[in-house]
A and B are shown apart, each in its own frame.
Chain A
Amino acid sequence: MIWRSIEKHTGMQVDRLIRDKYTVVIGLEVHAQLLTASKIYAPDSNQFGCDPNTNISVITLGHPGVMPKLNKKVVEYAIKMGLACHSEISPVNIFDRKNYFYPDLPKGYQLTQDTTPICQGGYIPIRLKNGETQEIGLFKIHIEEDAGKSIHAEGESDTLVDFNRAGVPLIEIVTKPEIISSVEATVLLSEIRRLVRYLDICDGDMEKGSMRCDANVSVMLNGADQLGNKVEVKNMNSIRNVQRAIDHEIKRQILELEKGNQIPSETRTFNDNSGTTSGMREKEQLNDYRYFPEPDLSPLIISKEWLADIKQSMPELPRQLLDKFISEYQLPEYDAQFLTDSKTMAHYFIELCELTHNYKAASNWIMGPVKSYLNDNGMGMSDFPIEPKRLSDLIKMADVGKISFTVASQKVFPQLLSNSNITADAVVKDLNLVQDSDTGNIQPLIDEVLASLPDKVEAYKKGKKGLLGLFMGEVMKKSEGKANPRLTNELLKKCLDQSFEQPLKGYRKRN
């Protein structure tokens, strides 16, 4: 069989032709830990990184006779996410027990929502690389508690349990199986992360585990009327690993089907080192959660007034800001995408645009010098040391031609970065950087440069027009960076083209 030989020779490669026979169907389940001060059903602290078993209470530890009491903020945060995702908000909510035994779940059940998720339906629009927008539907968003943490340490005969995480509030976002590739899945996940960060309800840090993603992956022959059996893949701790895990799973399933095997419905874990997934033991998959309504929590009613209050408190979302940046600031989509990537960045830019009206110049500054500075220093916008006012002054100076962009970005900008009290004006005065736009000052420098480089001038006149940059550089050097580049360029061209037009023609004739 051709297939066998492909597999044998290339490990786990799937031939394009074979891959194209199949349709991939993916759904995501995303858990986001909410940024509350206290836990979901108990008042112990929801602080990350504390010593083991210090954020605990009798409720968290599941002692007999204790009663849970729901954290109001958890409800509001979940509703915010639902509103951002166009979901219906359930007016009447009950909670359910999901029963299973595991050492990090002291009560023997997880207190969650099964029959009445607080947000029902909805969708998240994502922008694909080709510029198209795709709406990924949601089944629901519900609220629930996190479990404690089991530590299976190497060489340790016991499993260690830390209950600091037990009872940490979560929302679980469950998408419909409407994702058709690993790339779409990662774009959606990035969008979810951006939303929770804009809403300030979760820090979105997958490495830390405050946002987690399970993927349900299935493949079927194109045009099949029944979905393939779905495999749930867990344990991916970055967006990149979600992509790797899905890619591996698609290949694995196609290989199995091509060999004539069935794909069993199962849960598999992703191994970061090997980039592969492996099945869990059958016994661990024998789950029957026996959901039933939680009798210890009273029903949660979301009144119209409460909902209206929450709507009122919603910040502008990345999509809205994107539209604003494109229509109001007239920025290209590429710029708008970059500038709305994080809320701090977007808000900084809005503040900047209130101070300077050359929006494109402002955008170029952010996407140029500011971005390089942040990248070089591994910083985010919240760490950026120049306030919008000081940066806007600098932008204005370059904009009106008082200083050149090169001087602004290479001489003044670094000063503003290292000294938080200094203004652009003061730097320009101190270093005597005001741009020279006087022909009477620049022309002699040009003459000097051209006279000192006769062979280069000769080459230029023979057609090496690229040498203009060299002349420019030399003149700029002589002016100590102060010559107005536009004017210098103009004068240079005029000089070179005028004085060498005749000889150039003669040269051609001689040949």
Chain B
Amino acid sequence: MEIDRKVLQKIAHLARLEFDQNSEKQMIASLSEILDWVDKLNEVDTTNVEPLTNMSHESNVLREDIAQEPLDHERGLKNAPQRDADYFRVPKVLE
């Protein structure tokens, strides 16, 4: 996959990350390098191999529908960067 300025900006937007415009060139180069390296996997012929979606050999690991004691409200909110008595608070999201 070709990484250009547009792709880089799109990835940054999707990840909600900002980057220093001066390092743009360098980032494009290193991202391309990583992708080229991963691309080596394409050299393996996987024509008749089912895609692997899970490392375990189990299936149907299911839970009965029983509600259990929730996480305590205070403990749940404890690590929030911003909060009040009831809610997690985040910077205003404009609709």
A interface residues (Cβ-Cβ under 8 A, vs B): 36-38, 43-47, 51-58, 60-61, 69-75, 94, 99-103, 150-152, 156-163, 269, 281, 283, 286, 288, 290, 293-295, 297-301
B67 touches A54 (CB 8 A): no
Let me know if B93 and A152 touch, CB within 8 A: yes
Tell me what chain B mostly uses at the interface: helix, strand, loop, or mixed. Answer: loop
> Do residues B68 and A38 form an inter-chain contact, with CB atoms below 8 A?
yes
Contact (Cβ within 8 A) A38 B66? yes
Shortest CB-to-CB span from B55 to chain A, Å, is: 7
- The distance from the CB of B81 to the nearest CB of chain A, in whole angstroms, is 11
Chain B residues contacting A160 (CB-CB under 8 Å) are 84, 86-89
Q: Which residues of B contact A100 (CB under 8 A)?
A: 14
Neighbouring A residues of B59 by C-beta, 8 Å: 298-301
Given A69-B63, A94-B53, also A152-B92 (CB < 8 A)? yes
Q: Are A57 and B65 in contact (CB under 8 A)?
A: no
CA distance A286 to B88 in the complex (A): 26
Structural contact, A101 and B16, CB atoms closer than 8 A: yes
Chain A residue with Cβ nearest B93: A159
Mark interface residues in B74-88 (1 if CB within 8 Å of A CB, else 0): 001100001010111
Contact A61 B16 (CB under 8 A): no
Binding site for A on B (CB under 8 A): 10, 13-16, 51, 53-56, 58-68, 70-71, 73, 76-77, 82, 84, 86-95
- Give A382 Cβ to nearest chain B Cβ, in Å: 23
Given A37-B65, A45-B67: A298 and B88 within 8 A (CB)?
Answer: no
By a CB distance below 8 angstroms, the chain A residues around B65 are 36-38, 71-74
Of B58, B67, B73, which contacts A46 at CB under 8 A?
B67
**Given the contacts A159-B89, A288-B14, A299 and B62 also touching, CB distance less than 8 Å:** no
Q: Please report the C-alpha to C-alpha distance between residue A357 and residue B62 in the assembled complex, in whole angstroms.
A: 48
CB-based contact B90/A103 at 8 Å: yes
Output the least CB separation between B75 and chain A (Å). Answer: 9
The 4 A-B residue pairs with the shortest CB-CB distance, nearest first, are: A73-B65, A293-B53, A160-B87, A43-B68
Is B87 a contact of A51 with CB atoms below 8 Å? Answer: no
A115–B1 Cα distance when bound, in Å, is 23
A residues in contact with B16, CB < 8 Å: 101
Chain A residue at minimum C-beta to C-beta distance from B87: A160
Do A293 and B62 touch across chains, with their CB atoms under 8 A apart?
Answer: no
What is the CA–CA distance of A286 and B54 in the complex, to the nearest angstrom? 30
Residues of chain A lying within 8 A (CB to CB) of residue B68: 38, 43-44
Q: How far is the CA of A52 from the CA of B87 in the complex (A)?
A: 7
A38 touches B67 (CB 8 A): yes
B3 to nearest A CB, angstroms?
15
Contact B91 A37 (CB under 8 A): no
A500 to B10, CA, bound (A): 96
Residue of B at shortest CB range from A161?
B88
Chain A residue with the shortest CB-CB distance to B14: A288
Q: Supply 4 further A-B pairs (C-beta < 8 A) apart from A71-B65, A301-B59.
A: A103-B93, A156-B92, A159-B92, A298-B59
Shortest Cβ distance from residue B48 to the other chain A in the assembled complex, whole angstroms: 17
CB distance from B62 to the nearest CB of A (A): 4
Q: Give the one of A53, A60, A269, A283 with max B CB within 10 A.
A: A53
Q: In whole angstroms, how far apart are the Cα atoms of A290 and B92 in the complex? A: 26
Q: Which residues of B are found within 8 Å of A74, using beta-carbon distances? A: 65
Nearest B residue (CB) for A69:
B63
A71 to B61: give the CA distance in the assembly, Å.
Answer: 9
A43-B67 Cα distance, complex, nearest whole Å: 5
B61 interface neighbour in A45, A163, A298, Cβ under 8 Å: A298
CB distance from A385 to the nearest CB of B (A): 32
Tell me the complex Cα distance, A482–B18, Å: 87
The closest CB in chain B to the CB of A43 belongs to B68
Closest chain B CB from A405 CB (angstroms): 48
Q: Which of B53, B71, B92, B94 meets A61, CB within 8 Å?
A: B71
Residue of B nearest to A290 (CB): B14
B51 to chain A, nearest CB (A): 7
Please determine whether A157 and B92 come into contact, CB atoms closer than 8 angstroms: yes
Give the docked Cα–Cα distance between A150 and B94 (Å). 11
A57 touches B61 (CB 8 A): no
Query: Separation in Å of the B94 CB from the closest CB of chain A?
Result: 8
- Closest-by-CB residue of A relative to B55 is A295
Are A72 and B89 in touch, CB under 8 angstroms?
no
Residues of the A chain whose Cβ atoms lie less than 8 Å from the Cβ of B88:
53, 103, 160-163
Whether the Cβ atoms of A295 and B53 lie closer than 8 Å is: yes
18 A-B pairs whose Cβ atoms sit less than 8 Å apart in the complex:
A44-B68, A52-B87, A53-B86, A53-B88, A56-B70, A56-B76, A57-B70, A70-B62, A72-B65, A94-B54, A103-B93, A158-B92, A159-B90, A160-B84, A163-B76, A281-B94, A295-B55, A299-B59
